[in-house]
Structure formats: structure tokens, C-alpha cells
């Protein structure tokens, strides 16, 4: 089991306190990546709290040959100062490497006890199918993809496929370019005004309403990033309640696909 709101760390510069506050509030899924250069910071932040954390990281799309996958996992574990990755994800697909070779290496990491679960990121439905067919002993548990009120392309094919195959959708950048937080100068009048109205109806902030809208979709969890404790608290408070069906539909109409 993982929380519906986790903590992203792309371009994270907040130090340990925002992450520790998130863990305290139940946002115990922390996502990082080889590419982010934040694995060391995550490892430092969760020290002494590891038993409460579901730790996720990713291997670069340029490191998908068998030996490169194994080396990347070892390097990530060293930077995280840990001995197991809860969720290891392929950051991007790479057509120049046979998917069977990559997935075999991922399964080898599970067999060695270095990884618990296997996921992917930025994979299409076809690419997920290929990855699933290439594995023999493990399920594909997640696909981390871009999803928010302004970017809803995954609703047509990807979310239905994930629902049918019990794959969790981990939504990154769930507040878009920041304009969905209600604190940005980048605004589109119709969408943001509707978001602000819905937020007032439920006595929440626009960011909380936007995150909760993501959670209204089946199999979707979110990993917003914040460098501040206050914003981390705000994001975590998007959990534990639900927008009404009418409110979700209002936002759907205000931010068409």
C-alpha cells in the first residue's frame, strides 16, 4: 500500500525538513531518480525514518543494457545509503535496447533482493505491454507519467489500460507549471477561475483542489514537489476528502482535453 499523495524531488532544493514533514503527515512515498541528482539528499532526509518510507527511484533511459541497469541500481543504493529500493522504475524507454534485456535485469535485481517492485515512467500503452510480456516472475506495478488538469492525454488510453491491469498511475507535475497552485502569474482565465471557485466551495486552496481532482481518477496517485515545509503541508492536505461529482465535472469542462 502507498499513500495517494507522495513527494517528488525533481529540482528539489529544500533540504531534509520538507521531506521529513511530508513523511510525518503520511506522504511516505518519496520519488527520486538517477537523473535528478537528488538521491543523496533523499537518503539523508529519510535516515532514521526508512521503515516509514516507500522509496522509489529510476534508472536512466541511456542505462538500459543489463550491466548498466545493475550498475545504476548499485550506484543509487550507495547514494541513498540503503540496501533496497522499494520501487525501481525505467525513466524513459529506449528502442535501441531490447526490452527483454532490460526487464530481465530488473527482475534480476528483485531476485538479488536489491529491488522490491518494478515500474516504468513515460511509457505508452504499447511499451507497457512489451515490458509486461518480457517479464516472467514479476508484475509491472506502476507507470509514472505527466498528468494534471491542463495535460490530460493519458485519460483516453493509458488510464483505462492501467485500471484493467492493476497498474498504479503516478502523476508527476500534478500542479502543471505552477499555475494550478493559485500562486502563479501564468493563468488561463476560464480554467483558473473555475478552480478557484471549486476550491472556495470545499474550503481548500486551488492547489489542494487541483491535486484532489487528479485523485478522482481511478488508480491515480500524485507526487507534487515542494521546497518548503508550508507548501508540503498544503499539498498533503489535499488527501482525506473528495470533490463532489459535480465539482469534478466542472473542472473537466473548464480544462478540456
pLDDT, tens only, 194-248? 999 999 999 999 999 999 999 999 999 999 999 999 999 999 999 999 999 999 9
**7-8 and 85-90 as β-strands: parallel, antiparallel, unpaired?**
unpaired
Q: What are phi and psi of 241, to 5 degrees?
A: -155, 170
* Domains of the chain by residue range: 7-178+210-242
CA distance 182 to 23: 25
Average pLDDT over residues 19-48: 98
Buried b / exposed e over 223-254, threshold 16 CB at 10 Å, is bbbbeebebbbbbbbbbeeebeeebbebbbeb
CA distance 132 to 229: 38
Which band of pLDDT confidence, cut at 50, 70 and 90, is reported for residue 178?
confident
Which band of pLDDT confidence, cut at 50, 70 and 90, is reported for residue 187?
low
- Dihedral sign of CA atoms 60, 62, 67, 71 in order: negative
Which band of pLDDT confidence, cut at 50, 70 and 90, is reported for residue 68?
very high
pLDDT recorded at residue 86? 98
Which band of pLDDT confidence, cut at 50, 70 and 90, is reported for residue 257?
confident
CA distance 70 to 82: 15
pLDDT recorded at residue 185? 54
Give, in degrees to the nearest 5, the angle at Cα 205 between 19 and 5. 35
pLDDT recorded at residue 121? 98
CA distance 30 to 53: 7
Give, in degrees to the nearest 5, the angle at Cα 148 between 197 and 194. 15
Strands (E) across the chain are located at: 7-8, 29-31, 54-59, 85-90, 115-121, 140-146, 168-172, 220-222
Q: What are phi and psi of 219, to 5 degrees?
A: 70, 10
pLDDT exceeds 60 at position 183: yes
Q: Which fold has domain 7-178+210-242?
A: TIM Barrel (3.20.20)
pLDDT exceeds 80 at position 188: no
pLDDT exceeds 90 at position 177: no
Residue 43 is placed in which grid cell?
537518503
Amino acid at each position: 500500500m502507498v499513500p495517494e499523495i507522495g513527494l517528488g524531488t525533481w529540482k528539489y532544493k529544500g533540504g531534509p525538513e520538507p521531506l521529513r514533514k511530508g513523511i510525518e503527515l503520511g506522504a511516505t512515498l518519496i520519488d527520486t531518480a538517477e537523473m535528478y541528482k537528488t538521491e543523496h539528499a533523499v537518503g539523508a532526509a529519510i535516515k532514521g525514518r526508512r521503515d516509514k518510507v516507500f522509496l522509489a527511484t529510476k534508472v536512466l533511459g541511456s542505462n538500459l543494457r543489463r550491466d548498466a541497469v545493475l550498475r545504476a541500481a548499485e550506484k543509487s543504493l550507495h547514494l541513498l545509503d540503503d540496501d533496497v529500493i522499494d520501487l525501481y522504475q525505467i525513466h524513459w524507454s529506449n528502442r535501441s535496447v531490447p526490452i527483454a534485456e532490460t526487464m530481465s535485469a530488473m527482475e534480476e535485481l528483485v531476485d538479488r533482493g536489491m529491488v522490491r517492485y518494478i515500474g516504468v515512467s513515460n511509457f505508452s500503452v504499447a511499451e507497457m505491454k512489451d515490458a509486461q510480456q518480457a517479464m516472467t516472475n514479476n508484475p509491472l506495478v506502476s507507470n509514472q507519467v505527466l498528468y494534471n488538469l491542463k495535460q490530460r492525454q493519458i485519460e483516453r488510453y493509458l488510464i483505462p489500460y492501467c485500471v484493467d491491469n492493476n497498474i498504479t498511475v503516478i502523476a508527476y507535475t500534478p500542479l502543471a507549471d505552477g499555475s494550478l497552485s493559485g500562486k502563479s502569474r501564468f493563468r488561463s482565465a476560464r480554467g483558473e477561475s473555475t478552480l478557484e471557485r471549486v476550491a472556495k466551495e470545499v474550503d481548500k486552496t486551488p492547489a489542494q483542489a487541483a491535486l484532489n481532482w487528479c485523485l478522482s481518477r481511478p488508480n491515480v496517485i500524485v507526487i507534487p514537489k515542494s521546497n518548503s515545509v508550508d507548501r508540503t503541508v498544503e499539498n498533503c492536505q489535499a488527501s482525506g476528502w473528495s470533490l463532489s461529482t459535480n465539482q469534478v465535472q466542472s473542472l473537466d469542462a473548464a480544462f478540456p482535453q
